[in-house]
Amino acid sequence: MARASEKLAASTKPTSSPIQPHRELTTMLGPPARSRLLELAKTSCAVFSTTFNPTCKRTGNKILRQRLNGASIADYYLPRSRIITIPDMRRRWNQYVQTKEAKALGIDPEEYEFVDEDEMRRLEAVEYKKSRGKGAPKKKKEKVVERGKKRK
């Protein structure tokens, strides 16, 4: 039995190996103070450019760190200034016809007409619905106010 107790005593002795010197220091000095740990965390956040959040509150930094994608979405669509519609062409044609250059060339404004096919289809559909009695109701001309007897 003496041998078993000697082995047990030998295994529980603190080892002074070069691999674990910090365990001995920790047991001698105790755990570091909370203020020192907070200072260390603050310094590491400054070094690694992260946010210091000791209370672990939700700050939204995950969203704020993301790359802004508004410019890439705006580039996907054509700018409004580059899209030319039929009304734009009509307006520009009317401006051009009134210039001296167009008058000198003898351009007649009634000779050329811009037709908006979508608008023509819409008007035809409205007329067809009206002929079947399915169109929009007529608007009232005046609002008639009738006063009746008040009930008690």
Average confidence score pLDDT of the chain: 78
Q: What is the pLDDT of residue 39?
A: 94
Q: Is the pTM of this model over 0.85?
A: no
pLDDT at 151 > cutoff 70:
no
Q: What is the pLDDT of residue 147?
A: 67
Name the CA radius of gyration of the chain, rounded: 43
Task: Compute the residue count for the chain.
Answer: 152
* Residue 6 to residue 13: CA distance in whole angstroms: 11
Cβ contacts of 44 within 8 Å, gap of 6 or more: 50
* Residue 130 to residue 62: CA distance in whole angstroms: 57
Q: Where are the domains of the chain?
A: 22-53, 86-131
* Residue 6 to residue 57: CA distance in whole angstroms: 54
Higher pLDDT, 26 or 100: 100
* Tens-digit pLDDT profile for residues 113-146: 777 788 899 999 999 999 999 988 888 887 666 6
Burial of residue 10 (number of CB atoms within 10 Å: 0-12, 13-18, 19+): exposed
Q: What is the pLDDT of residue 122?
A: 94
Rounded mean pLDDT of 78-95?
79
* Tens-digit pLDDT profile for residues 19-73: 555 666 566 778 888 899 999 999 999 999 888 998 989 988 888 888 888 888 8
Burial of residue 97 (number of CB atoms within 10 Å: 0-12, 13-18, 19+): middle
* Residue 93 to residue 114: CA distance in whole angstroms: 9
* Residue 67 to residue 59: CA distance in whole angstroms: 17
